[in-house]
């Protein structure tokens, strides 16, 4: 499906530009955005190196295990496929924690680590059930305090920059629950189809 979306965006854009005289902009944007993507990836190096380095120590020191043990009852229910003592749970939890506190920088490397562990469990290049559940939670978002938005509101002299925290939490919560329900629904549909 990403294949379809990817090709759709590019093809529609180029065909539209043919008839609307925006080919020059498209041509320019092509290389600018490629450049932008490379910068983004290079920028990720520092964060990835730092966090994967620290988490390696944390894993070795047994800190991930402690974290997993504390929150295990909840997570085991969300991820029934992952064995109870598997390090994947530790990384999943650290990713959630980082997300909740709005530390997007830290969340990405931890999430990738969690995905790696889940891939080891499944051993194929097909997304496993746990991976999809994990990403469903991530795409729905876990932010409690939307720091970026608050700072933008401050810049534009809001009387109460944080007044949207409440509505954001409710909206996040409901979309999170629906992401989990949708995930379950599509999972059971896919197992039924196999039979």
Q: What residues between 132 and 191 interact with another protein by CB under 8 A?
A: 132, 135-136, 138-141, 143, 145-150, 152-153, 156-164, 166-168, 170-172, 174-176, 178-179, 182-183, 186-187, 189-190
Q: Is 12 in the site for another protein (CB under 8 A)?
A: yes
We find the least distance from the C-beta atom of residue 188 to another protein, in angstroms, to be 11
Q: Binding to another protein (CB under 8 A): which residues in 90-119? A: 101-103, 106, 108-109, 111-112, 115-116, 119
Q: Cβ-count burial of 51 within 10 angstroms (0-12 exposed, 13-18 middle, 19+ buried)? A: buried
Distance between CA atoms of residues 171 and 79, nearest Å: 23
Q: Is 49 in the site for another protein (CB under 8 A)?
A: yes
CB 44 within 8 Å of CB 112: no
Phi-psi region at 21: left, alpha or beta (left = phi > 0; alpha = psi -120 to 50): left
Task: Mark the segment that binds another protein (CB under 8 A) among 68-76, 83-91, 120-128.
Answer: 120-128
Nearest to 92 by CA among 42, 43, 142, 127: 142
Taking the alpha carbons at both ends of the chain, their separation in whole angstroms is: 23
We find the least distance from the C-beta atom of residue 65 to another protein, in angstroms, to be 11
Which listed residue (34, 75, 80, 130) binds another protein by CB under 8 A? 34
Distance between CA atoms of residues 188 and 62, nearest Å: 35
We find the least distance from the C-beta atom of residue 136 to another protein, in angstroms, to be 5
């Amino acid at each position: 499906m990403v294949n379809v979306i990817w090709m759709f965006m590019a093809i529609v854009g180029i065909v539209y530009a043919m008839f609307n005289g925006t080919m020059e902009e498209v041509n320019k944007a092509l290389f600018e955005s490629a450049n932008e993507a490379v910068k983004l990836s290079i920028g990720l190096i520092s964060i990835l190196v730092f966090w994967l380095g620290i988490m390696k120590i944390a894993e070795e020191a047994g800190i991930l295990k402690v974290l997993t043990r504390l929150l295990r009852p909840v997570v085991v229910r969300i991820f029934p496929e992952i064995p109870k003592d598997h390090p994947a749970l530790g990384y999943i939890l650290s990713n959630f924690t980082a997300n909740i506190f709005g530390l997007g920088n830290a969340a990405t490397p931890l999430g990738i680590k969690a995905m790696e562990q889940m891939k080891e469990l499944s051993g194929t290049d097909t997304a496993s059930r746990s991976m999809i559940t994990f990403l469903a939670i991530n795409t729905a978002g876990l932010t409690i305090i939307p720091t970026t938005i608050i700072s933008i509101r401050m810049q534009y002299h809001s009387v109460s920059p944080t007044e949207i925290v409440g509505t954001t939490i409710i909206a996040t919560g409901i979309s999170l629950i629906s992401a989990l329900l949708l995930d379950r629904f599509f999972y059971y549909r896919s197992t039924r189809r196999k039979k």
